[in-house]
Amino acid sequence: MQVLAFDDEQPLAQALADALGLPLALIRRHRFPDGETRLVLPKPLPPRVLLLRGLQHQPNDRLVELLIAAPAARAWGARELLLVSPYLAYMRQDMEFTPGEAVSQRHIAALLATQFDRVLTIDPHLHRIASLDEVMPAGQGVALSAAALLGEWIAQRVPGAVLIGPDEESGQWVAEAARAGGLDHGVGRKVRHGDREVRLSFPEVAVDGRAVVLLDDMASTGRTLIGSAVEALARGARSVDVAVTHALFNGDALPALRAAGVRHVWSSNAVPHESNAVCVAPLLARALADWAGA
């Protein structure tokens, strides 16, 4: 059995391989001038392969890489292939908002299910479905949560903080983080007016004179978090920090958060980013221990 990964995700792949006591091998990539990609996999491969590939930043390119790597891995000896994708792209598009609009969550999940025996991810952005079982064959998609890891981290760094989730969909996730850290929490309501215009209805929880940590499963443009930070400070919060599972932080999101008065920004390394503070390798390893030992 072996862990297989792409070179740009080697740190997390190495941590996961070490936690599982497995060897790590890397896939080499070359991009041709016309945009096509050449992949070179180690050969031969053992019968069971754990392939690590997150689908953040340029997800279309990464999906094509997976569609090449998966059958190549099977051709070079892998009989059982498990995908560990800490960030699973296209999960937000979960219904037909306008006539004819493709429900990409359903289609991408089904596509990955044809290539991998199992797909393991962390905090997928699921809104109107309860689990990946609704878009993949039962048991084939496994979703973990980094909420408890972040809650424990926050409790160590900001004892007595109050955790604030931006909207109703974050309620269960924020509650789990609060339980893990023994912290108070509140959940707001998000009103979106487009891709970059979001207003937060702040929760009715006292923040005057208290340290506030804004929690979310992911941060893309950061506008929701910026609005929350401004509101928390206006209500007298002593400080405002941010913690997220997936640190996408596109464009000017990170400097804009800091300009809004956010003190610290923490994230898990499910997505490689300068804000990474919490390692998800132990979380993944615990979920994979039985599979790795079989």
- Just list the catalytic residues: 190
Query: What are the strands of the beta sheet with 2-6, ordered from one edge?
Result: 37-40, 24-31, 2-6, 48-52, 80-85, 118-122, 141-144
Specify burial of residue 214 (Cβ count, 10 A radius: 0-12, 13-18, 19+).
buried
State how far the alpha carbon of 102 is from the alpha carbons of 96, 189, 195, in Å: 7, 27, 18
Do the beta carbons of residue 23 and residue 17 sit within 8 Å?
yes
Q: Identify which of 41, 47, 40 has the alpha carbon closest to the alpha carbon of residue 77.
A: 47
Do the beta carbons of residue 285 and residue 19 sit within 8 Å?
yes
235: tokens are 């209500």
